[in-house]
Structure 1
Amino acid sequence: IEGASFLFLNEYELALAIQKTGWSDAEILDRVEVRIVTLGSDGAKVEARGKETIFVGVPKEKARVDPTGVGDSFRSGFIAGLAANLSHERCAQLGSMLATYVIETKGTQEYHFTRAEFLTRFESAYGAVAAKEISDHLGRFGFDASL
């Protein structure tokens, strides 16, 4: 944990880290640059020392089929956003959108969408400004046409 640039945890893992290290919630945050905690159906929060906490909600699900791989897909979307130099808020939104596609399908990589479908759902969840900010980067993520 000490010195990590980004620490990704879910609520259970955060509680376990507090228990196992003996550090408080604040002490764990003090040891990393950015901490991202996924909150299940409540979304995610992004925390950094001395900065306001960012809360990102979860896009509306069409169905809840299989939670396997949801955390991994959230992280992959977040990290893809980092690679594109997007804000932490946009990174968390990308991760949440991708995680929503994963939970709607059986299996971790069985989801399919087009670039247009992704952007439409993203805009519906997070607004036109957010969708515009990510749209130019989708090609670099492999979202060119149909996935």
Structure 2
Amino acid sequence: MKILVSGSLAYDRIMSFPGSFADHILPDKIHMLNVCFLVDGLDERFGGTAGNIAYALSMLNEAPVILGTAGKDFEGYEKWLDGHGITREGIKSVDSEFTAGAYITTDKSDNQITGFNPGAMKYSCGYDFSDIKADDTLAIVSPGNLDDMQNFPAVYREKGVPFIYDPGQNIPAFSGEQLLDMISGCKILVSNDYELEMIMKSTGKTRDELMEICDSIIVTLGENGCLVVEKDGETAVPAAKAKEVKDPTGAGDAFRSGLIKGLCMGKSLAESARVGAVSAVYCVEQLGTQEHSYTEEEFWVRYEENFGKI
């Protein structure tokens, strides 16, 4: 099955400040803030929603196609994708921009100051959908270029391609009317519980009313697993058991990868969500969104340990 993954490609550049931000910010001088933090070093990691989802899918023996944009500094990320057998056919190069990047400084109390440069993500990827076959394609629209997030659902509806919609952190960028249009007709609306509240507030719709325009909703609940909402009822799916929680960042993207894998296998939505739970737990056990690894055999052994035979 062809898996189309639209969303962001980004570098996460993480810096550690050994002190406390609070000791360097004077409350009575915030109106003229001018501070400098001497950090211990910089750690560059590969990230972005599309990159993260595609990475985890590649470990599950799938061949996702990333639909996104990259900048003039993408060479290192290119080699990473090539090394994991992930095609770059759907990635548009924007040579006048840098690849999107998050610049994150964390102090000793885990407080963070983040700057995000969208860079190449400001441009649509311009993917050619003319050869897409509805009966052999599954798509996910995740946070990335705003035009792609708005336009791709219409393309998928027109072509009859089942798609997952995941507006994530870009929810505030759209009006309620735009959100309703993008969600309409999707196979699954995926969001965490806070994001779902934002969607309902923006659209003025209840969860039941949203279910009238999409097939199903999956609400992720962090360490409490997720709730799978379908027309005939709902199913609570627990989180898989972590050996050690190091970093929850990227767990949502890893969950979506497992969810897609389950759907490609023809499993029910609840079963697919359990596959997602196992995919997510590997991510939280490592620092970074693409630092975890496993063989497919190891993955299914761990699935059985948590949920029994699939």
TM-score normalised by L of structure 2: 0.40
Q: In the alignment, is residue 93 of structure 1 matched against residue 274 of structure 2?
A: yes
Structure 2: which 5+ residue stretches go unaligned? 1-182
How far 1:119 sits from its partner (Å)?
2.2
Q: In the alignment, is residue 109 of structure 1 matched against residue 290 of structure 2?
A: yes
> Residue 103 of structure 2 corresponds to which residue in structure 1?
none
**Of residues 80, 84, 87 in structure 1, which corresponds to 2:261?**
80
Q: Share of identical aligned residues, percent?
A: 38
Moved over 6 A (4+): none
**Of residues 235, 238, 254 in structure 2, which corresponds to 1:54?**
235
CA deviations 1:110-132 (Å, max 9, x no partner) are 112233432222111101x32xx
> Residue 140 of structure 1 corresponds to which residue in structure 2?
none
> Residue 125 of structure 1 corresponds to which residue in structure 2?
306
Q: Which has the larger radius of gyration?
A: 2
**Of residues 198, 201, 217 in structure 2, which corresponds to 1:35?**
217
Give the letter aligned to residue 228 of structure 2.
Answer: V
SS of residue paired to 1:31: coil
Distance of 2:296 and 2:210 partners within structure 1: 38
Distance of 2:203 and 2:189 partners within structure 1: 15
Give the letter aligned to residue 290 of structure 2.
Answer: Q
Q: Which moved more, 1:83-92 or 1:111-120?
A: 111-120
**Of residues 56, 69, 81 in structure 1, which corresponds to 2:250?**
69
Give the letter aligned to residue 74 of structure 1.
Answer: F
How far 1:59 sits from its partner (Å)?
1.2
> Residue 136 of structure 1 corresponds to which residue in structure 2?
none
CA deviations 1:55-106 (Å, max 9, x no partner) are 1111111111111111111111101211121111221011110000001101
Structure 1: which 5+ residue stretches go unaligned? 131-147
CA deviations 1:8-60 (Å, max 9, x no partner) are 111011000111011112111222101111111110111112x1212111111
Q: Which moved more, 1:108-117 or 1:70-79?
A: 108-117
Give the letter aligned to residue 265 of structure 2.
Answer: A
Q: In the alignment, is residue 15 of structure 1 matched against residue 197 of structure 2?
A: yes
Q: In the alignment, is residue 44 of structure 1 matched against residue 226 of structure 2?
A: yes
TM-score normalised by L of structure 1: 0.81
Work out the number of aligned pairs and report it.
128
